[in-house]
Chain A
Amino acid sequence: MLKKDTKAIIYRFLITLFIILAINFFLPRMMPGDPFSTTSSTIQGEDVIVLTEEQRMYYRNYYGLDKPVPEQFVTYLENLATGDLGKSIYYKMPVREVIQIHLPWTMLIVISATILSTVLGVMLGTISARNRKKNTDRLMMSGLIAFAEIPSFLLGLILLLIFSVHLRIFPLAGAFTPFANYGSILDQAGDIAWHAFLPVLTLSFAQVTVVYLLTRNTLITVTSKDYIRTARAKGLGEKAVWTRHALRNALLPVVTRTGFVIGMLMGGAVLIESVFCYPGIGLTLQTAVIGRDYPLIQGILLVVAISILLCNLIVDQVYRRLDPRVVV
């Protein structure tokens, strides 16, 4: 039974992956314009170098854009199999290197936001469940749900306006102070954390509510179970009942859900990075789309899509393993 399920899941994963590969390849090629009709120096319109017809042909030939599309697709798959993602037209270096430079920043804020939102969500959920049907619970419930309705990039803009523009506590853009001379590695870490703070906070906001609701509702279900009454009848203190018996069981779905959270955050990071000008792959994707940098668009889309799919796949498996009661 389980084996058949696993097979179906992996099958679905492969189909989805193939569809992404196909969209990934054909779409950029159907986009209007070509990278050499605008040239590639800067996006905001400064320093535009106009290429002559001769130079354009040279570049099209150099990047293989003058070959028929099916031939390009075969070359693309061949290169992909060897881990070669092509060469970025805008950055003039291999796509893999561009992604390697920017991915760690995205990973940093996504993973920090996952940890923050999980910890905060579980804490708030427990407080809420313990005060069930009291005003604290009601207030937290409606407040957090309303917060979750605000799209995170708008929330990010608000945080940016309040804390960076008005109060000037946090930086406006970037991931570190440019040209800074750090006294020690600790200074450097502090600087990076200071820059990452608002993006991480923004990313976490949307997910906190998901974790919060999950924790609260599972806790409420769990605490009505017989074994909790037994624990209380044994004379265990409230604290022990909540932490050792209730929370432990309620955390199971929460912990496995964090994988889905990572996937969601990867997708949401694009807009957040744009709000804070944070140099992750989301911002790079935006630059690549505007500059018609096909190979780079494909590379980033592939990396993002595969990481989201992989997260979902792993979580799905872990979830089944840990909690056999749940039929997904």
Chain B
Amino acid sequence: MTVALHPRGLLRMLSRMGNILSKFSIEGKVGTIGLLVFILMAIFAPLFAIHPPAKITGDSLEPPGADHLLGTDELGMDIWSQICYGARMSLVIGLAVACIAGFGGGALGILAGYRGGSVDQALMRVIDVTMALPSFPLLIVISAFLGPSILGIIIILVLFSWAKPARIARSQTLSVKSQAYITAARHFGGKPFYILKRHIFPEILPILIVSLIGISSYAIIAEAGLAFLGLGDPTSKSWGMMLNYAVHFSAIYFTPYWLWWLVPPLLALIILLLCLAFISRDLERVLDPKLRDRRGEG
């Protein structure tokens, strides 16, 4: 973080990111642009949307027109602005869960791998059990228990997604730890924390970042799924919530309303997830060529 704040460090980081981007395939570039559009849409939602998302600004179930770009829902709220503000919800949940679970789990994995012994054993057992739990049915019950709050949803999603990055970080740490240069650094008097920060963490960061994107997709899907089942925050305007309201509107399938009420959030979710998938695939290829060889692709 301190590196990023320094102007020169920031410049170096940007050029490195540009470097990675230039190696992306067309799909990856499309995905990156798509994700940027979603991020801009989320940040500047009030500019993109003419109407506030949770106010009644038109008649009930107006078809798309000049005033309401994508029409209105049954309460007369603007669909397009709900899509814009809904991007905030999905992106915030994806980012928050990915950062907490990815870096938290990653840190635990690095520590366990570096320390070894009983700490490592204990962590591995917890990871095994966490990964064996049937996650979606439990998610439903736990989120019903925690009540419809964004914070609650973030917490449970973190609880179900930290194990994978932890396991990856642990096995990577184990293989890096045995390298000669780490032993050399230790013999030169490097303290454990210094070695972790200076040598091990940078080695593991690329693979951790790839798993971060995977976790954020998972979190976005899970939030949308829970909201779709009616377990989201009913006052929030998330895409999953929109799907839930639309699907539970009586006789929606016998009217043309689904065209502008159900299709937009559906497409928004799918496009966002595809963008993330394209980025993740290219990032994996660029950052870790070894990974591709191991999978026997190409």
Q: 0/1 per residue, B231-249, Cβ < 8 Å to A?
A: 1000000000001000110
A321 at the interface (CB under 8 A from B): no
Contact status B132-A158, CB under 8 Å:
no
Contact status B266-A157, CB under 8 Å:
yes
Contact status A290-B133, CB under 8 Å:
no
Is chain A's interface secondary structure helix, strand, loop, or mixed overall? helix
Contact status B138-A301, CB under 8 Å:
yes
Q: Interface size of A by Cβ–Cβ distance < 8 Å?
A: 51
Residues of B near A286 (CB, < 8 A) are: 140, 229-230
Q: 0/1 per residue, B107-151, Cβ < 8 Å to A?
A: 000000000000000000100110011111110111011010000
User: When A12-B129, A27-B145, A31-B145 are in contact, do A285 and B137 touch as well, CB less than 8 Å?
Assistant: yes
Contact status B277-A149, CB under 8 Å:
yes
A189 at the interface (CB under 8 A from B): no
Stretch at the interface among A14-22, A62-70, A74-82: A14-22
Contact status B138-A154, CB under 8 Å:
no
Most buried by B among A266, A289, A305: A289
Q: 0/1 per residue, A305-321, Cβ < 8 Å to B?
A: 10011001000000000
Q: Give the contacts of A150-186 with B (CB-CB under 8 A).
A: 150-151, 153-154, 157-158, 160-161, 164-165, 172
Q: Interface size of B by Cβ–Cβ distance < 8 Å?
A: 43
Contact status B253-A165, CB under 8 Å:
yes
Contact status B296-A27, CB under 8 Å:
no
How many residue pairs between the two chains, A and B, have CB atoms under 8 Å in the bound complex? 116
Contact status A172-B253, CB under 8 Å:
yes
Contact status B253-A267, CB under 8 Å:
no
Contact status B273-A149, CB under 8 Å:
yes
Q: 0/1 per residue, A191-209, Cβ < 8 Å to B?
A: 0000000000000000000
Q: Name which residue of chain A comes closest to B222, CB basis.
A: A151
Q: CA separation between A151 and B226, bound complex, in Å?
A: 13
Contact status A19-B133, CB under 8 Å:
yes
Residue pairs across A and B with Cβ atoms less than 8 A apart, 10 shown, are A12-B128, A19-B129, A19-B133, A142-B27, A149-B273, A149-B276, A157-B243, A217-B296, A263-B134, A267-B134
Question: A-B pairs with the 5 shortest C-beta distances?
Answer: A149-B277, A267-B136, A31-B145, A151-B221, A308-B134
